[in-house]
Structures are given as structure tokens and as C-alpha cells.
Amino acid sequence: MNYELEYFHPRIKEEINRWPKSTLADYKRLAGLLIEFGPNMRMPHSKAMGRGLFELRARGKDGIGRAFFCYMRNKRIVILHAFIKKTQTTPQRELDIAYKRMNEVK
């Protein structure tokens, strides 16, 4: 049985849909894999960030996107926060937003 993908707020999905075309296409491909495989999805597509937070690692010729998510009961996955990555490391501010939202939904 597949997982159900939802967004913390509709604004997050709108932001992702504004990503560069190639990055958005990879995100959609990875989101499909996430729905199908859930927690069995690993690097290089998904990475555990700690304390129950994970990232979906979308890449395209136009840039790198990251979407933070968590797993919920009843095979639900919630996309908590998304951004286009501009540096080698993930900015702490982006992680803080995702952790805060995760605490709200759990």
C-alpha cells in the first residue's frame, strides 16, 4: 500500500511549483518514489536529518531543491518546508523551520 503525501501548508506546494523546471521535475519523480517506498527510500534521494526529520534531495540542471518531511501514522508523509539550496551546507534557519513545523504536526 502506498503512502499519502500532504503539505504542512498549501503555500509550500506553491513554492515548490515555482522551482526551476528541471529541479521541479526531479522533485516530482522523487515524491512519487517516496509515496511508493516510504521509509525504504535512502540516499542519494532521501536523507535522515535527525529527530524524525528527513529531506528529499531534488536535483536539476537549474539547481538543487530540498524538501523536509516527516512520517506520520497511517502511512502519511507531511512535507514541512522546502527551499532551493544555494550553499554546500543546509542553512540552520531552514532546519529550524522544518523542526518547528514537525513539532506542530506530531
The answer to whether residues 22 and 83 touch, using CB atoms and an 8 Å cutoff, is: no
What domains can be seen in the chain, in order of their start residue? Answer: 4-105 (3.30.2310.20)
Share of the chain above pLDDT 70, in %: 100
pLDDT, tens digit (0-9, with 9 covering 90-100), for 24-71:
999 999 999 999 999 999 999 999 999 999 999 999 999 999 999 999
pTM over cut 0.85 = yes
Burial of 61 (0-12, 13-18, 19+ CB in 10 A): exposed
